[in-house]
Structure 1
Amino acid sequence: MKLSKILTPLALLWVLTACAGSIGLDDLAALDIPPAPPAAFEACADPVKLPDRALSQSEVEAAWLTDRLALLTCGDLLGVVSEYAVGFPAALIQAFNNE
């Protein structure tokens, strides 16, 4: 009894999704969706590895500056990715409306 209560709604959902229109692979290839920018695939820099000894103030400042610049660059890369992700649904809508 319990199993039929679970399987019946699932079967109905499967039938309903079969009725929905789908996109063929040829249709997807015809869509004019811009590719992700190359910067989206760049990895962020690793933090500076500090030696296992006492550091001078200038060494600490140099390591901090390197890490800070790497964080800023990584933030810029994430900004590029998020801008692309935000614009992707709009590109899909535009591509489907131009058919």
Structure 2
Amino acid sequence: MSIFEIQGGIQLLIYFVLLAVKIYAFISALTFSAPSYEAAGKLTKPAWLLILGLAVVLHLVGGGILLLSLIFTIAALVYLADVRPALAGLTRR
């Protein structure tokens, strides 16, 4: 097994992990109501759905556009680290 095969395998693994993160964030954004986004003081539900939907589509179609893919990956991670916990905290009360 050559180093190039190992590198290719790692890149493929990273591709699918990041795709899974973006899909999970998009599905999670769908589950919360629109008023809860405003109550949490975050961007609106349509805005997050647009951002996360574009992240998934770009990842599937044009994964080669590295800078945009990085920006959308960061957006998905921000949603999961900041927005989702704020929304989940509102529904627990």
Fold conserved (TM > 0.5)?
A: no
Higher relative contact order by CA 8 Å / sep ≥ 6: 1 or 2? Answer: 1
Q: Greater share of helix residues, 1 or 2? A: 2
TM-score normalized with structure 1 length: 0.34
TM-score normalized with structure 2 length: 0.36
**Rg bigger for which structure?**
1
